Amino acid sequence: MTSAEEKPPIVLDEPDREFVEMIKRTGGPNIQSCYQCGTCSGSCPAGARTNFLVRGIIRKALLGMKQECISAPELWYCTTCYTCTDRCPQDVKPTDVIKAIRNIAVQEGYMLQNHQKVAQKVLETGHAVPLDKESWQKLREKVGLEPIPPNASRFPEAIADVVKIAKKTHFDKLVEDKDEDEE
């Protein structure tokens, strides 16, 4: 059996103070009073079915563990239902904290492939779930509707505007497929 003396000490990275300041600004004036009661996690529909623990994210964020926060796949399990925010006895805003961490995660290249593909669809078609012309046009005509609804599917200039905004904000670069050789 390994004795306690033989175990290597746990070494935490230096806290990222800029990250902590951002978390404090985002999570409400009482975020440092989070006492890990778990009301948020106990109310969380995403955590009920996965290993996602929202109070853990709040704790790590306050400790300045930026890398652990932005690289965790469970960061993306939150449905932004705001139940945790409604129920926190300390008026912490866990949902806003999660969204702020997600923004940094994407900026630094951590994005789930499914989200990336959805974003690419928006740039290609103007819709996250584009019209399947083959099947939907016929069905729409059958029930007396115009074959193409009056949305971006009908107005290519609107899609061009979306692409323009994406280029201007560099969103197109964030969601493009990365060359695997670069990794």
Residues engaged in binding ligand SF4 (CB under 6 A): 34-40, 43-47, 54-55, 58, 78-84, 88-90, 92, 94-95, 98
Q: Residue 78: helix, strand or coil by DSSP?
A: coil
- Tell me whether residue 58 or residue 175 sits nearer to ligand SF4 (CB atom): 58
CB of 162 to ligand SF4, least distance (A): 27
Tokens of 153: 């599917």
- Tell me whether residue 94 or residue 126 sits nearer to ligand SF4 (CB atom): 94
CB of 106 to ligand SF4, least distance (A): 17
Contacts of 80 (CB under 8 A, 6+ apart): 95, 98, 99
What does the alpha-carbon distance between residue 119 and residue 115 come to, in Å, rounded to a whole number? 6
Alpha helical stretches, state H, 63-151? 66-71, 83-87, 94-107, 113-125, 133-142
- Tell me whether residue 36 or residue 151 sits nearer to ligand SF4 (CB atom): 36
Q: Are 69 and 102 in contact (CB under 8 A)?
A: no
CB of 59 to ligand SF4, least distance (A): 8
CB of 80 to ligand SF4, least distance (A): 5
- Tell me whether residue 97 or residue 106 sits nearer to ligand SF4 (CB atom): 97
